Structure 1
Amino acid sequence: MVTFPPEKAPKPGLNIYGFASVKPYKLAIAAEELDVPYNYVHVDMGADEHQSEWYTSINPNGRVPALVHVKEDGTSVSVFESGACLLYIAAEFDKEYKISYPFGTPEYWKQVSWASTVSNRPCRHEASISPFVGGDRLTIADIAIFIFAYSARWCGVNIDEFSNVKAWCDKLLQRPGFQRGLEVPKPYAFHDEAVSNSDAQEFYIRMRKLGSRAIKAATDKWHGDMVPVPSDHANY
């Protein structure tokens, strides 16, 4: 039986486990769009909580985000990876189909396809996300892809070059649910305006270094006898 630190233990209802990185914001936005009460649990990556026994009991991959839904009958469900978490939130809490389509419909599978798409696809297929990604209204597909479009400059892409993507992104930013979700656990720090701030570059340089070190540590752990390729370690 895994013992959780008291402040990290799942409470009755929806528990979102995350960190102030990119993907966990998707879950907060979905919950806010549905007005679902939730308990946000901060996973301290700096203290390696994501590798702790209590957290890997939720997500064996040791990554954020994840969720635990403690139901009224006392049973609980754990889900990890942001796409799976969005699907669960929609299935469990979106009975009126505010951010999803009914299971099995063509629209359902279209939203799942887009929600599973690699993050750089919206800019390559900008015509397909107007007015929304998965159909004629907001779905989890929009939520899944939005956070990457909103962070395009962090990836070296100028979203202004893609007028439909820019209009779609601006439209979503006007929604109160998106605005509230982008504040949890603290204001989102990787959007275009923030990363373009010349007075705040020290933070982003530090984040890139931390990311590079994490990649190197993972590579060193699993590299084994594999033959290295020229791109290995290029960005350390």
Structure 2
Amino acid sequence: MASSTSTSGPDIHLYTTQTPNGIKISITLEELGLPYTVHKIDISKNTQKEPWFLEINPNGRIPALTDRFTDGETIRLFESGSIQQYLVERYDTEHRISYPRGTREYWEVNNWLFFLNAGVGPMQGQANHFNRYAPERIEYGVNRYVNETRRLYGVLNTQLEKSTSGYLVGDRCTIADIAHWGWVTGAFWSGVNIDEFPALKAWDERMLQRPGVEKGRHVPDPHRMKELSKDPAKMKEHAEKSRAWVQQGMKADATKK
């Protein structure tokens, strides 16, 4: 992962941390074989709220990315779906993880990309919050978001049951698969048992065998979700640490105008 110094090539800087949304970008970059420089953002210290970062992403969230645009000037990208679309539109000229613009498959990839960004990510994120980070257990919140996440997993499972390639769209892994993987592989964290969804579980394992996924998931730190799922003590410790800074961040956000 070395940065490019060519004035004509990419100069990609990825601002990220170890989250489902963060690793979807590093995996995308690895699948495309692009050089990039990683800047680890410590969200436990609210680094993403500092003025310099807000110049890149005014929403104060990771991931964010900058690159040298076609006019030679820096372009900023934020929101993970937008970043993925930029990367394949500009750099995936061989359509390794995308399809040509305007094809049926192109629009189908968009369907599933928006399904993740408007459905699975937000719903599972709330399931994670009520299951792991809330100061007290609120059954309504847990049930609402875990059940909706499970429903969305059922939609994915049905799509994969019909797939002849083992991926969501057409004959290849695309940014739609990559976008979902970081969330689905951590299903247990939100209270969903992936064993309920055989086709989705097989897809999860298939994705993990891809070199780009294996390399990209460990950016900027080791991806430990699989290990956590097998160790209840570490799971509890991780949740307690995360709960503390999540609550702290919520309080800080509440005082800002």
Question: Scaled by the length of structure 2, what TM-score is found?
Answer: 0.76
Match of residue 194 from structure 1: 228
Question: What SS is found at the alignment partner of 2:45?
Answer: coil
* 1:127 maps to 2:125: no
For 1:163, which of 179, 184, 198 is the aligned residue?
Answer: 198
TM superposition shift of 1:133: 1.4
Residue type matched to 1:29 in 2?
Answer: I
Structure with greater helix percent: 2
Give the unaligned 5+ runs of structure 1. Answer: 1-9, 223-236
Partner of 1:52: 50
Moved over 6 A (4+): none
| Conserved? CA contact 2:44–2:245, under 8 Å | no
Q: Which moved more, 1:24-33 or 1:198-207?
A: 198-207
Deviation (angstroms), 1:217:
3.8
Matching residue of 2:135: none
Which of these residues, 60, 64, 68, is aligned with residue 66 of structure 1?
A: 64
Q: SS of the residue aligned with 2:65?
A: strand
Q: Give the letter for the 2:34 counterpart.
A: V
Query: Between Structure 1 and Structure 2, how many residues are aligned?
Result: 212
Please say if residues 16 and 41 of structure 1, whose CA atoms lie closer than 8 Å, have aligned partners that are also in contact. Answer: yes
- 1:211 alignment counterpart: 246
> Could you tell me the TM-score, scaled by structure 1's length?
0.82
Question: Which moves more between the two structures, 201-210 or 110-119?
Answer: 201-210
1:205: how far off?
A: 1.8
1:137 aligns with 2:172: yes
| One-letter amino acid of the structure 1 residue matched with residue 101 of structure 2 | F
Ranked by relative contact order (alpha carbons within 8 Å, sequence separation 6 or more), the top structure is: 2
> Greater shift after overlay, 86-95 or 72-81?
72-81
Which letter maps to 2:59?
N
SS of 1:170's equivalent in the other structure is helix
CA shift, 1:193, in A, is 3.5
Identity %: 36
Distance 1:192 1:184 in 2: 15
The CA RMSD measured in Å over matched residues stands at 2.1
- Asked if 1:104 is matched to 2:102, the reply is yes
Cα distance per residue 1:160-197 (max 9 Å; x no partner): 111000000100100111000011111113x2442441
Structure 2 unmatched runs, 5+:
121-148
Partner SS for 1:17: strand
